[in-house]
Chain A
């Protein structure tokens, strides 16, 4: 229940002209505007530009340190999985365990694992994977659709641990992996797919 005349809101929201208000209501509008102007003109805080640029110029920590930091830092992770995807995920995992015996395996270090990306984007001209493992730069991991059946595939070696990722379709459309099964809310109001890379059994 509004405690002030609704025309005050209409003026401040630009829906009607302030000239349409009687003097008393106009005074209330001006009081609110003056309060906002005072807040806008409040003493300026010290600039953080030098501090930020210094942080950006510092060499990034080694990937291993960043991974350890990521793993030990407390953070809220939202995991949501539709029951139907659990079956798909189980089938995918079963495939992953069977495939290595038949395909040539890339060189994998002790703290690395193999990630296989499969996505269906019929009609797409290109599909790439971006994520925390490649600083979200599109183009560095391109998937292939050799059969031209709309199913794009790629296998890469990644450090073991959790990685957030998304697909970039045709260089501009960012899409979460519908088969990921796990998603993480990021700072920017969307959900990234979550991939957990495990070490390869030697």
Chain B
């Protein structure tokens, strides 16, 4: 899509609220990859993440009129999905296969570099799993989703000093874990 002509979040929200339901597809395409990535980190399962994101997006559509600041749609969506993730964790089914337990299957067509990269990813994911859920969330929002502390506060409802402390502790623990695995 031509970025210059892409409608802003506020414009898309106005279109949806004006009755153009299909315009919500733009919202999905714009934020789904990050939301799925975030939910997968929180839930440790891609299937559960897909469920949480799908539920969150449906909920967001139904409550779109209550999004007071459409320009901050992104953090609003993260907040909804974060709540869906918490609900999933509360009623977690033991049948979920975690990302840890399901390492990527080697494909004979993979290059050596791709295999090495997959192994590194498993290592990083394992290190991430050693962190508490709050620290994982803080690290992912900050460094994987690239949010500012202000955006993180809007997405999680936590105070900025609390988030900053969690990110710092997450970096320290992750660095230590990564150094040990090396």
- Seen from chain A, the residues whose Cβ lies within 8 Å of a Cβ on chain B are 2-4, 8-9, 12-13, 28, 31-33, 35-36, 38-40, 42-49, 51-53, 55-57, 130, 135-138, 174, 187-189
Decide yes or no whether B40 CB sits under 8 A from chain A. Answer: yes
* B71 contacts chain A at the CB level, 8 A cutoff: no
Whole-angstrom distance between the Cβ of A163 and the nearest chain B Cβ: 14
Q: Are A53 and B25 also in contact (CB < 8 A) when A38-B120, A138-B65 are?
A: yes
Most chain A CB neighbours (cut-off 10 Å) among B57, B117, B125, B127: B57
One digit per residue, 1 when the CB lies within 8 angstroms of any chain A CB and 0 when it does not, for chain B 155-177 equals 00100000010001001101110
B49 touches A39 (CB 8 A): no
Contacts of B66 in A (CB 8 A): 130, 136, 174, 188
A39 with B125, Cβ < 8 A, contacts A49-B28, A53-B25, A187-B80 known: yes
User: Known contacts being A42-B37, A48-B50, is A53 close to B28, with CB within 8 Å?
Assistant: yes
Alpha-carbon distance A188/B83, docked complex (angstroms): 9
Tell me the B83-123 residues at the A interface (CB within 8 Å). Answer: 83, 104, 117, 120-121
Are B140's CB and A39's CB within 8 A?
Answer: yes
- Residues of B contacting A38 in the complex (Cβ-Cβ under 8 angstroms): 117, 120-121, 124
List residues of B whose CB falls within 8 A of some A CB.
21-22, 24-25, 28-29, 32-33, 36-37, 40-41, 46, 49-50, 53-54, 57-59, 61-63, 65-68, 76, 79-80, 83, 104, 117, 120-121, 124-125, 127-128, 139-140, 143-144, 157, 164, 168, 171-172, 174-176, 178-179
Decide if A39 touches B128 in the complex (CB within 8 Å).
yes
Q: B89 CB to closest chain A CB, in angstroms? A: 15
Chain B residues near A49 (CB-CB < 8 A): 25, 28-29, 32
Docked complex Cα distance between A45 and B53 (Å): 11
Q: Can you identify 8 A-B contacts, CB atoms within 8 angstroms? A: A32-B174, A33-B143, A35-B124, A39-B143, A56-B21, A135-B65, A188-B76, A189-B157
User: Chain B binding site: helix, strand, loop or mixed by DSSP?
Assistant: helix
Which one of B49, B59, B104, B174 lies within 8 Å of A187 (CB-CB)? B59
Given contacts A35-B127, A53-B28, 15 further A-B contacts (CB under 8 A): A4-B175, A8-B171, A31-B178, A35-B124, A35-B178, A36-B144, A38-B120, A45-B46, A48-B53, A57-B21, A130-B65, A130-B66, A187-B79, A188-B76, A188-B80
Q: Is the CB of B124 within 8 A of A28?
A: no
Give, as a whole number of angstroms, the nearest-CB distance from A23 to chain B.
Answer: 16
CA distance A45 to B57 in the complex (A): 16
User: Which residues in A have their C-beta under 8 angstroms from that of B76?
Assistant: 188
Residues of B within 8 A of A4 (CB): 171-172, 175
The residue that A3 contacts in the complex, of B37, B65, B176, with Cβ under 8 A, is B176
Q: Determine how close the nearest CB of chain A comes to the CB of B37; give it in whole angstroms.
A: 7
What CA separation (Å) do A52 and B91 show in the bound complex? 22
Closest beta carbon of chain B to A146's beta carbon, Å: 27
Is B36 touching A48 in the complex (CB atoms < 8 A)? yes
Q: Would B65 and A137 count as touching, CB distance under 8 A? A: yes
Expressed in whole angstroms, the minimum distance between the Cβ of B106 and any Cβ of chain A is 13
Q: How far is the CB of B58 from the nearest CB of chain A, in Å?
A: 5
8 Å CB contact of A31 from B46, B67, B168, B175: B175
State whether A32 touches B143 (Cβ < 8 A). Answer: yes
Tell me the bound Cα distance from A189 to B40 in angstroms.
Answer: 22
Given contacts A32-B175, A35-B174, A189-B157, contact A52 B144 (CB under 8 A): no
Query: In whole Å, how far is A171's beta carbon from the nearest beta carbon of chain B?
Result: 12
Residues of chain B contacted by A42 (CB below 8 angstroms)? 37, 40, 121, 125
